[in-house]
Amino acid sequence: MFVRRYWSVGSWSKDQKRFMTTSKRVQDRSKLKRVHDLEIVTEKWKIASKVLFLMEILKKEPEMIIPVRSLDQYRSQISLPKPHRVSDFIRKSPKLFELYKDHRRVLWCGMTKKAEDLVEEEDRILEEHQDKAAEYVTRFLMMSVDKRLALDKIVHFRRDFALPVDFRTGWVHKYPQHFKLVKDEEGLEYLELVNWNPAWAITELEKKTMGITEASEDHTPGLLSISFPLKFPPNYKKAYKYRGAIDHFQKRSYLSPYADARGLKAGSKEFDKRAVAIMHELLSFTVEKRLVTDHLTHFRHELVMPQKLMRLLLKHFGIFYVSERGEEI
């Protein structure tokens, strides 16, 4: 599932929004394909993501406590405009956060014992998962046209890929056999592929279809003819109306996300279907099988994907679900 979100990057100002996410036609198409239960789940995820963000802030503190006034700088990250008080937001999660005043009457925030236990459990799970996370990051690099990606962009997927908080300062240096940190002439940091692994140049959909865990050491990615799983809500009657077009799309061969796509013509059917395969593969890497769409659009050039990515996502309703609820996260 994808969650829409407006995001400011680089030279984009706060008042600018991408054309592809503000087009009335795109918005209208999205409204016609909403699933109530999934929208409710996304709304709950918005709240949970804010709580998790606050827990990560506390986790970075030496004693996992912080003055509440110091949390004012994170208002935008938790979508809490003034005059709403940060302390009121914290009080909504009494099982996770505690508030207390010191002898100078300064209000502090800390985690409850339950929250600390959850943090320890998460750290343990991330530690157990780190080799798999390294594989996913490596495969992400293998899908990119130049076999390297800006570190600032990968950071957006940190929690989705189950990467630790110290991802950019420590974790990226733990797997020198897979990737390395480099800087360009302007000092921008990139993660660069060190070794191409043929056994990993296979999609999760291929592995599931073939009943294998990885490809052979001499595997070369090329054309695929595997259909994407489809699922429509029970009340979506248009699935029958478009069955012919859907079947035609599913039967069309497409280039593997791990194959060189520089020869594909932008806008062609082959180009678009490969983009669907890339998005499907990236979603399969994530913990909850969902991503914020604007995070994905940052990689259009690196992954050779269409400019109007949102239109493609909405076109293939049944393979993907796009929620409107995430735009305020």
Query: 224: Cβ–Cβ under 8 A, 6 or more apart, which residues?
Result: 203, 206, 253, 254, 255, 256, 277
| CATH class of the 23-116 domain in this structure | mainly alpha
The span from the CA of 99 to the CA of 66, in Å, is 10
At 302 the pLDDT is 94
Q: How confident is the model at residue 31 (pLDDT cuts 50, 70, 90)?
A: low
Domain ranges within the chain, ordered by starting residue: 23-116
Closest CA to 45 of 291, 279, 283, 281: 291
Q: What percent of the chain has pLDDT over 90?
A: 58
Cis bond leading into 83, ω under 30°? Answer: yes
Q: What is the pLDDT of residues 86-119, one digit of tens each?
A: 999 999 999 999 999 999 999 999 999 999 999 9
At 294 the pLDDT is 84
At 7 the pLDDT is 31
Q: How confident is the model at residue 293 (pLDDT cuts 50, 70, 90)?
A: confident
Indicate the SS3 state at residue 257.
coil
Q: What is the pLDDT of residues 140-159, one digit of tens each?
A: 999 999 999 999 999 999 99
At 221 the pLDDT is 92
Query: 269-285 and 113-143 helices cross at what angle (nearest 10)?
Result: 150
Q: What is the pLDDT of residues 110-145, one digit of tens each?
A: 999 999 999 999 999 999 999 999 999 999 999 999
- The residues facing 254 across adjacent strands are 224
At 50 the pLDDT is 92
At 82 the pLDDT is 84
Contact status, residue 312 vs residue 306, Cβ threshold 8 Å: yes
Q: Is the pLDDT of residue 185 over 50?
A: yes
Mean pLDDT of 39-59: 89
At 308 the pLDDT is 86
At 32 the pLDDT is 58
pTM higher than the cut 0.95: no
Mean pLDDT of 223-247: 83
Q: How confident is the model at residue 6 (pLDDT cuts 50, 70, 90)?
A: very low
Question: In terms of C-beta density within 10 A (0-12 exposed, 13-18 middle, 19 or more buried), how is residue 147 classed?
Answer: middle
Q: What percent of the chain has pLDDT over 70?
A: 87
Mean pLDDT of 28-36: 63
Mean pLDDT of 170-180: 96
Q: Is the pLDDT of residue 18 over 60?
A: no
Q: Give ∠ CA 131-132-138 in degrees, rounded to 5.
A: 90
Q: Is the pLDDT of residue 14 over 60?
A: no
The per-residue pLDDT of the chain, averaged, comes to 86
Neighbours of 180 (CB within 10 A): 15
Q: What is the pLDDT of residues 69-84, one digit of tens each?
A: 999 999 988 888 888 8
At 287 the pLDDT is 92
Indicate the SS3 state at residue 108.
strand
Question: Do β-strands 2-3 and 291-292 pair in parallel, antiparallel, or remain unpaired?
Answer: parallel
Q: Is the pLDDT of residue 291 over 80?
A: yes
Question: Do β-strands 148-150 and 189-193 pair in parallel, antiparallel, or remain unpaired?
Answer: antiparallel
Token code pair at residue 192: 């660069």
Phi, psi (degrees; rounded to nearest 5) at 220: -125, 120
